[in-house]
């Protein structure tokens, strides 16, 4: 699948649409009017539709990672990352280039899907009906996937299922977001009824992809009954399981796991590869550490008693990484932990890097003051930072990036049921399967992990917000979650702190509210800036209600205007 995807990329880039207009013309359709006439050509076109799953930004990282770290409270970035760092800083505008690239990228995928779907009948006499239907519904699911990013980022957007033959036909009006959601959910239901129960090959759309995407869109839209139905169908389908080792899931050893429903595929030698080791890795191996988790992310992981750290009796601020949810150290490289054969340390007074056996490996730089610091927040992302690539100073990784996984279906189901106040044993089962896996035990071993048994809706609403924050950290869910929960103005209008430099003298414990918001109010009065200063921080800015939607790119508005048409801008004074 990977080789096919990249070997055919050049052909997939053929397009007859004016590059200055909304790109709804397929990039898979050559000018030859006889194309789409046999199965080989249909497969080639379908590969073009899949190609838009590869959506990369700064350091060629998946844009989902850039969203989490640039535009939310769980991570920080240094440098330009498709404008999502501008969004987090509140300095973005309709001219921010990354928003335009996101907008056009999704429409490029939609155009490819529309071209294939509308031309399938050309091959009806030579391709079996079952195969035609599978190709059609794979393309329909992918089209829904691309549209769902548009509507949940930009709101009302132009919608079409037709071919665009004349560039002026691309000057479409914005369609109400709720109408588009109606269409996407109906399409995904139909697709789920017609797609095979298991994938025909790795990274191909199958029934559970359609159902999980249906549950995601319905959940984001607040249509909880529909989210329950589709996620329950995934769970009862029996085709998927949680990967036994959470940390391993995001490494080369985790590829092919039955948990991964759909992934962004990468292979050395075929197209650009994400630079996770360069962007997220340790300076001790030549990386820049410019994409890092925040202190509030670290403080969001529960203690082993299942309580947030401000309520737990087993949490000790002097030993902040002990007695914590195992997903903390599975996802994040913490000070004094082993990483790639060395002991990672981000304290500026630690001038030597030591190997695990205690021998000296090299020198450490002061990570508070260098322009391109290592772990400028004091921590590194372990998730997707391929240690094998780090060890040989290779800046890229060809590990697939998971776009959709079984844990999402479980948590979608639990949250939708909680919102409907239909709390029962199935809700506990869904939550506990995810929580038990974090501890590496079975769901039945309730003495070995903090199992959930509460029937209280308010308590479970709080818990599901914490659970999604830590389960999906650095995977691209956080921006959508804080928006749909209407908590973005709270969690984003903050100073993001880094690591306290001397844990041995630590006393301060932040407060964590019902939305999982970690507050450091009072920290300034409890710490001496000279001896207990934290790492350089970032100031997040959120303009409410403007920043609940991205602006329609100004280039798009200008193109409409230049051709005698109009498209409205989102409110907020862009």
Q: State the Cα–Cα distance between residues 65 and 383, nearest whole angstrom.
A: 11
In a domain, 506, yes or no: no
CB neighbourhood size of 526 (10 A) = 11
Termini Cα distance of the chain: 42
Q: State the Cα–Cα distance between residues 506 and 132, nearest whole angstrom.
A: 64
- What pLDDT shows up at residue 549? 97
* Residue 35 CA: distances (Å) to CA of 40, 41, 44, 114, 117: 10, 7, 10, 15, 13
Instruction: Provide the number of structural domains found in the chain.
Output: 1
Q: Does a cis peptide bond (omega within 30 degrees of 0) precede residue 257? A: no
Q: How confident is the model at residue 201 (pLDDT cuts 50, 70, 90)?
A: confident
In a domain, 377, yes or no: no
Q: Phi, psi (5° rounding) for residue 387? A: -65, -35
Res 350 pLDDT > 80? no
Burial class (CB in 10 A: 0-12, 13-18, 19+), 183: middle
In a domain, 45, yes or no: yes
Res 6 pLDDT > 50? no
The 3-class secondary structure across 94-128, one letter per residue, is CCCHHHHHHHHHHHHHHHHHHHHHHHHHHHCCCCC
Helix, strand and coil content of the chain, in percent to the nearest 5, comes to 45, 10, 50
Find the CATH number of the domain harbouring 128. Answer: 1.25.40.390
The 3-class secondary structure across 481-503, one letter per residue, is HHHHCCCHHHHCCCEECCCECCH
Res 7 pLDDT > 70? no
In a domain, 310, yes or no: no
Lowest mean pLDDT among 60-69, 83-92, 361-370, 482-491: 361-370
In a domain, 367, yes or no: no
Lowest mean pLDDT among 25-39, 171-185, 227-241, 557-571: 25-39
Give the bridge partners for 293, in sequence order.
75
Q: State the Cα–Cα distance between residues 340 and 400, nearest whole angstrom.
A: 21
pTM of the model: 0.92
In a domain, 11, yes or no: yes
> Coil, strand or helix: which one is 407?
helix
Segment 326-343 mean pLDDT: 91
Res 293 pLDDT > 90? yes
Percentage with pLDDT > 90 across the chain: 70
Segment 374-383 mean pLDDT: 79
**Backbone region of residue 440 per phi and psi (left: phi > 0; alpha: psi in -120 to 50; beta: other values):** left
Find the domain containing 60 and state its range. 2-195
In a domain, 38, yes or no: yes
Tokens of 203: 């990274």
CB neighbourhood size of 125 (10 A) = 8
């Amino acid at each position: 699948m990977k080789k096919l995807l990249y070997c055919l990329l050049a052909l997939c880039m053929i397009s007859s649409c004016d590059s200055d207009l909304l790109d709804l013309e397929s990039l898979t359709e050559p000018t030859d009017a006889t194309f789409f006439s046999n199965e080989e050509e249909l497969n080639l076109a379908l590969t073009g539709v899949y190609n838009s799953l590869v959506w990369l930004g700064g350091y060629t990282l998946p844009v989902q990672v850039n969203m989490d770290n640039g535009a939310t409270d769980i991570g920080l970035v240094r440098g330009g990352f498709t404008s999502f760092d501008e969004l987090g800083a509140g300095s973005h505008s309709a001219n921010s280039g990354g928003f335009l690239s996101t907008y056009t990228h999704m429409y490029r995928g939609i155009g490819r899907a529309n071209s294939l779907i509308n031309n399938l009948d050309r091959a009806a006499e030579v391709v079996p009906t079952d195969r035609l239907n599978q190709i059609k519904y794979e393309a329909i699911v992918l089209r829904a996937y691309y549209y769902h990013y548009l509507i949940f980022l930009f709101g009302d957007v132009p919608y079409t299922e037709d071919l665009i033959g004349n560039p002026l036909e691309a000057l479409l009006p914005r369609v109400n977001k709720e109408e588009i959601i109606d269409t996407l959910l109906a399409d995904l239901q139909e697709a789920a009824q017609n797609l095979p129960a298991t994938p025909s090959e790795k990274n191909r759309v199958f029934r559970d992809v359609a159902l999980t995407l249906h549950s995601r869109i319905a959940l984001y839209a607040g249509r909880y009954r529909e989210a329950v139905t589709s996620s329950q169908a995934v769970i009862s389908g029996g085709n998927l399981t949680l990967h036994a080792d959470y940390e391993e899931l995001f490494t080369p050893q985790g590829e092919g796991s039955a948990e991964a429903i759909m992934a962004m595929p990468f292979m050395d030698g075929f197209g650009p590869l994400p630079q996770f080791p360069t962007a997220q890795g340790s300076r001790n191996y030549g990386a820049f550490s410019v994409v890092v988790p925040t202190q509030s992310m670290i403080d969001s992981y529960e203690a082993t008693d299942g309580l947030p750290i401000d309520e737990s009796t087993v949490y000790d601020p002097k030993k902040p990484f002990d007695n914590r949810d195992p997903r903390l150290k599975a996802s994040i490289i913490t000070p004094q932990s082993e990483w790639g054969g060395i002991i990672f340390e981000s304290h500026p007074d630690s001038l030597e890097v030591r190997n695990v056996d205690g021998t000296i490996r090299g020198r450490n730089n002061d990570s508070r003051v260098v322009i391109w610091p290592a772990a400028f927040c004091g921590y590194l992302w372990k998730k997707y930072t391929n240690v094998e690539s780090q060890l040989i100073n290779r800046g890229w990784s060809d590990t697939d990036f998971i776009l959709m996984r079984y844990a999402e279906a479980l948590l979608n189901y639990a949250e939708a049921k909680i919102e409907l106040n239909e709390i029962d044993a199935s809700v506990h089962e869904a939550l506990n399967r995810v929580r038990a896996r974090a501890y590496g035990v079975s769901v039945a071993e309730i003495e070995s992990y903090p199992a959930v048994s509460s029937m209280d809706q308010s308590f479970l609403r709080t818990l599901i917000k914490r659970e999604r924050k830590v389960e999906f950290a650095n995977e691209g869910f956080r921006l959508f979650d804080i928006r749909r929960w209407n908590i973005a103005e709270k969690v984003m209008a903050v100073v993001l702190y880094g690591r306290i430099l001397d844990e041995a003298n630590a006393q301060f414990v932040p407060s964590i509210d019902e939305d999982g918001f970690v507050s450091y109010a009072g920290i300034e009065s409890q710490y001496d800036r000279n001896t207990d200063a934290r790492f350089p921080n970032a100031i997040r800015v959120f303009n409410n209600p403007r920043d609940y939607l991205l602006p329609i790119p100004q280039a798009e508005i200008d193109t409409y205007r230049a051709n005698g048409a109009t498209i409205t801008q989102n409110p907020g004074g862009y």
